Amino acid sequence: MKKKLFLVSTPIGNYNDITLRALNTLKDVDFVICEEYKEARKLLSHYKINKELIALNEHNENDVVNEILLKINGVNSAALISDCGTPLFSDPGHLLVDLCISQKIEIIPVPGANSLLPALIGSGFDFEKFYYYGWLSPKKHIRRKQLLDLKRVKELIVLMDTPYRLKRLLEDVVNLIGKGVPVVLAYNLTMTDEKYYRGIAEKVLSIVEKKNLKGEFVLIVNNKGK
């Protein structure tokens, strides 16, 4: 029987967003590869699923990937999940998937929740074409260069970052792309305090400062121009 690695999407905040297929897959696999034990245990406990967990994250992927590969080869199937959302989407696991493909292990994505599409469809922008950049560098000089390069991209630009860098990201957008550029901040998507903040970058920055917002977010910058 061919070995299988399922890439299982999990909710980004609201546990009701998991799919029936994801639940059935997590129940059926032999073990689950997770990003962090705490988040994985909380998730599986909510659905009353008890599985062996093995952690694979940005800090240990190179060290544990061969051990995980051997374990997959010794069973029928495994599932890879991230802390939330779609695995490999700004998350670890790429090396494991590459090695599984080289070992003829079948890779099976299980689609589900992610932050990108809800942010886009709720933004009000025309997103038939968009430029997904994702996470900027935390290093100031590299980050500045990245944003100056993005300023030349006349498209809808999608950016992501950690909650504690939300204010700084908006400050950088105001200073380097322009205070009058239209943006949408999709904040805490799927959660009870989900909110879309729309307006020019300078205005949205003032809201973030006033409310002291710190949460999961996607920032969409409309750099198409007139």
Residue among 99, 19, 115 at smallest CA distance from 66: 99
Mean pLDDT, range 59-71, rounded to an integer:
94
Per-residue pLDDT reduced to its tens digit, 121-141: 999 999 999 999 999 999 999
Residue 152 confidence (pLDDT) above 70: yes
Mean pLDDT, range 18-35, rounded to an integer:
98
How confident is the model at residue 126, as a pLDDT? 94
Q: 67: pLDDT confidence band, cut at 50, 70 and 90?
A: very high
The three-state (H, E, C) secondary structure of the chain, written as one string: CCCEEEEECECCCCHHHCCHHHHHHHHHCCEEEECCHHHHHHHHHHCCCCCCEEECCCCCHHHHHHHHHHHHHCCCEEEECCCCECCCCCCCCHHHHHHHHHCCCEEEEECCCCCHHHHHHCCCCCCCCCEEEEECCCCHHHHHHHHHHHCCCCCEEEEECCHHHHHHHHHHHHHHCCCCCEEEEEECCCCCCCEEEEEEHHHHHHHHHHHCCCCCEEEEEECCCC
How confident is the model at residue 220, as a pLDDT? 98
% of the chain at pLDDT higher than 70: 100
Q: Determine phi and psi for 221, rounding to 5 degrees.
A: -110, 120
Domains of the chain: 4-110 (3.40.1010.10), 116-222 (3.30.950.10)
Q: 29: pLDDT confidence band, cut at 50, 70 and 90?
A: very high
pTM score over 0.75: yes
The 10 Å Cβ neighbour count of residue 90 is 15
Residue 226 confidence (pLDDT) above 70: no
* Average pLDDT of every residue of the chain: 96
Per-residue pLDDT reduced to its tens digit, 104-125: 999 999 999 999 999 999 999 9
Least confident of 44-48, 60-64, 193-197: 60-64
Strands 195-200 vs 182-187: parallel, antiparallel or unpaired: antiparallel
